[in-house]
């Protein structure tokens, strides 16, 4: 059985984003009075009263900088919530698959960062089969999980088991 691992925004990128985001702006820090914001740093929802930051994030651009790939016109940036302070954030538990309780878009990408397709999921029961289907295609290197309502990036999924702590 194939395993998949969700990857939150990497720690080095988070450190940069907490100073200046991928649009070149300082983060917008706020106290989340209601809670429930999807945090891309630890793949959980915020609790009421937590200090969070809204930043612009460009996952394909950052991947391209690491790998030398060229996503071309598929490069995009968008808003994500992260903890405002690193010490507030804990690593995701388990396989890290989060936010699967609602409609999501699973966007498939090649190693070069080019979109190979996508699928709308209907919620938790549809998520795993859609992910399996995506990785059945050997050309799919990674999958971005995105919110339907705003199209926001939630996290990246890659093949393999999570690393042991």
Q: What is the pTM of this model?
A: 0.89
The pLDDT tens digits for 33-72 are: 999 999 999 999 999 999 999 999 999 999 999 999 888 8
Q: Sketch the domain layout of the chain as residue ranges.
A: 4-88, 104-159
Measuring CA to CA, which residue among 108, 107, 52, 99 is closest to residue 80? 52
pLDDT band at 162 (very low <50, low <70, confident <90, very high): low
Measuring CA to CA, which residue among 105, 148, 98 is closest to residue 130? 105
pLDDT at 136 over 70: yes
The arrangement of strands across the sheet holding 153-159 comes to: 4-7, 153-159, 142-147, 104-109, 115-121
């Amino acid at each position: 059985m194939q395993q998949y691992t969700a990857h939150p925004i990497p720690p080095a990128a988070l450190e940069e984003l907490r100073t200046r985001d991928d649009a070149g702006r300082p983060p917008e820090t706020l106290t989340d009075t209601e809670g429930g914001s999807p945090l891309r740093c630890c793949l959980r929802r915020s609790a009421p009263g937590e200090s969070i930051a809204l930043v612009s994030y460009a996952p394909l651009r950052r991947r391209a900088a690491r790998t030398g790939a060229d996503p071309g016109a598929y490069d995009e940036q968008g808003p994500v919530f992260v903890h405002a302070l690193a010490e507030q954030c804990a690593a995701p538990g388990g396989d890290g698959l989060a936010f699967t309780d609602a409609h999501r878009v699973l966007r498939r990408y090649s190693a070069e960062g080019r979109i190979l397709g996508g699928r709308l999921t209907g919620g938790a029961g549809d998520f795993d089969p859609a992910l399996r289907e995506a990785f059945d295609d050997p050309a799919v290197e990674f999958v971005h999980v995105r919110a339907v309502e705003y199209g926001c990036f939630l996290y990246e999924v890659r093949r393999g088991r999570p690393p042991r702590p």
